[in-house]
Structure 1
């Protein structure tokens, strides 16, 4: 791949996607051809079913020693939430793809499934080098109940992408455990959106962590991933790009209104930044662009998936080019919490300065939880990777740890989405 060679996918969709064929060739690790998804087999007429996904991932796992597929959770309706691990498990650099948090946004899931297959089977030099230095983790269907029902929320109607703080859903808890256990350097979150022409109708939008608790270097690398890699890669293959949540004047390109994309900490791209990982949200356009796409939904579907694949090319090029800088940024951000210095922000964003009431200028050294509070939120703290120590019949949660800036968002009464009202401690 380059690092993506979609040999089989491109064979059936290249004309419709209007994307040049890649010149790098790849060969399967085994004589039998690599498996194809239901989407590929139908040439985009339909999305891959969950039964097909299970068989596809099993075939990929059997056919390559580069990949391991396992279950990391189970939805309320009993469907598995799977994680594919690809590449060198000892590599210091880790990239996590989260696909289909919203069940009615399937194009990113299709891109993730073929990415698993291609990384597992392609033998070109760039793919081998990528996987020798990087672990790629993929959750292909983060919301299996929602995908089965073609709904945004899970089977309880909860938006999983608003549950990355409270962790009330099985899906949110599974993703939190993956982030805690694997400490990804990059969390890449694939979505789709409905256009509002002419102000909001690019083929691909993206957005980095806007939350002000994101470390400066982590924030910088996230914006570099967007501006220097993902957007140029998409534009190179003919897709228009822009910033998620911003309406722009069609003549000048200047922002005229923000309709989404704030610094809210319970959203994955922001939670990733608070947890010291680079984050990037990707949104492909659902609506048909042309008369041909309106007439032939499969053509529209292939364009949606193609834009996701183009953006993934940018992600993997970024990983290869800036691996060292990313590792330095995320490592330094995690160590910074141990110094226990600096403010914590409970509001604002990188394009919306926090007011005085949105800044905890001198955070406490710890929050005390009584026994009932510890019983209520102890599991969630553990899933977030936040440690505590026993204190009588309760516990002290010190800020001096790598997740320092997350803790007030969980336990301070002033934080919008706090889990419980911990008692601030000024002496520890």
Structure 2
């Protein structure tokens, strides 16, 4: 792992457009069977590519690289803010599952913030590399798949798996799908990644102490992962947990996850010695099970939670405060219980 130059940086992203009252997260509306869930306000694949290219054109520090194509031939971008091999690198991975979309909207907002050529961002680029794969599953994101989605509650506007009906987060060993092959060969093996946050959405009915959570987190739990990598993963989780909790509207639990290396949280930490954190947001945009779907009125707070947590991780790595993060909170963090049906990463 690289040594991190200690710098005191202030990195402020504009969040006013997502401002919400305290207590909003965790208690947002559930899908009740009568609500129309629309995808028009979400970023399309075409707009996503245009947005990240626009950010690259605007910024002196952002580059966009196409790392591969999906089953249906859609481009998969890698967005790179800074690319100094002497600096630590964090990768935000979103939308392995096509129906988990608000994390991608959050990532796009962070990318937009980083595209400003202001003093803060110039200093940031001198201290840390920030990479994004903002949509690994573009086919599933628009429901363009080779199987029937008529059982999905929102009409199949998005689905979990790729066009071949393969769960990409179960393909990190075989790399049989073009999306995971591109991620491993053109990102994870091409760059020296120190930290990775694997963002997902879980079902809408998980809670702790009888309260619905806004999300959950977990570090690698496979016994083969280097203990130093596990500790760094816990530090990453500490930083992101504190950032959400301090804002007063989030409630995070501990994800009840397994130890299999086929999933990113364990497999990438084991294979590449990357400090890896799973961060699950509440609810999905579409699913065959209504308990997994969250009402679209909750979109704003989920995007804000994504932005806050990403911002915190970037800052902590840039100024090296992540190395002092208190990981003892993990011992007390309550494992969420399923008030509906069990989620899977």
Q: Distance in 1 between matches of 2:101 and 2:222?
A: 27
Whether 1:104 and 2:93 are equivalent positions in the alignment is no
Match for 2:76 among 81, 86, 94?
81
Residue matched to 2:216: 205
Distance change (3 Å), C-alpha of 1:60 and 1:198: closer
Unaligned runs of 5+ in 1: 20-43, 246-260, 289-295, 327-428
Match for 1:151 among 143, 148, 159?
159
1:84-233 matches, within 5 Å, as 84-121=79-116, 123-125=118-120, 127-149=121-143, 150-177=158-185, 178-199=187-208, 201-227=212-238, 229-233=239-243
Figure out how many residues of one structure are paired with residues of the other and give that number: 276
Residue matched to 2:18: 13
Distance change (3 Å), C-alpha of 1:17 and 1:136: farther
Match for 1:270 among 252, 266, 275?
266
4+ residue runs of structure 1 moved beyond 2 angstroms? 1-4, 10-13, 15-19, 88-92, 127-130, 195-201, 296-299, 320-326
Give the CA deviation at 1:323. 7.4
1:17-416 matches, within 5 Å, as 46-121=41-116, 123-125=118-120, 127-149=121-143, 150-177=158-185, 178-199=187-208, 201-227=212-238, 229-237=239-247, 238-245=249-256, 261-274=257-270, 275-286=272-283, 297-322=295-320
**SS in structure 2 of the partner of residue 109 of structure 1:** helix
Residue matched to 1:397: none
Distance change (3 Å), C-alpha of 1:136 and 1:197: closer
Distance change (3 Å), C-alpha of 1:14 and 1:181: same
Distance change (3 Å), C-alpha of 1:91 and 1:130: farther
Match for 1:3 among 11, 18, 27?
11
Q: Distance in 2 between matches of 1:50 and 1:16?
A: 31
The answer (yes or no) to whether the contact 1:88–1:132 under 8 Å persists in 2 is: no
- Structure 1 residues 382-428: Cα deviation after superposition (integer angstroms, max 9, x where no partner): xxxxxxxxxxxxxxxxxxxxxxxxxxxxxxxxxxxxxxxxxxxxxxx
Q: Distance in 1 between matches of 2:312 and 2:69?
A: 32
- Structure 1 residues 116-154: Cα deviation after superposition (integer angstroms, max 9, x where no partner): 1211215243x3332212111111111111111111000
- Structure 1 residues 40-71: Cα deviation after superposition (integer angstroms, max 9, x where no partner): xxxx9721111211221121111112111121
Unaligned runs of 5+ in 2: 1-8, 25-38, 144-157, 286-293, 325-345
TM-score norm. by structure 1 comes to: 0.60
Distance change (3 Å), C-alpha of 1:4 and 1:266: farther
Please, what is the CA RMSD of the aligned residues? 2.6
Give the CA deviation at 1:269. 1.1
Q: Distance in 2 between matches of 1:158 and 1:226?
A: 28
Distance change (3 Å), C-alpha of 1:17 and 1:158: farther
The answer (yes or no) to whether the contact 2:60–2:117 under 8 Å persists in 1 is: no
Higher Rg of the two aligned structures: 1
Residue matched to 1:358: none
Q: Distance in 1 between matches of 2:207 and 2:246?
A: 22
**SS in structure 2 of the partner of residue 72 of structure 1:** strand
TM-score norm. by structure 2 comes to: 0.74
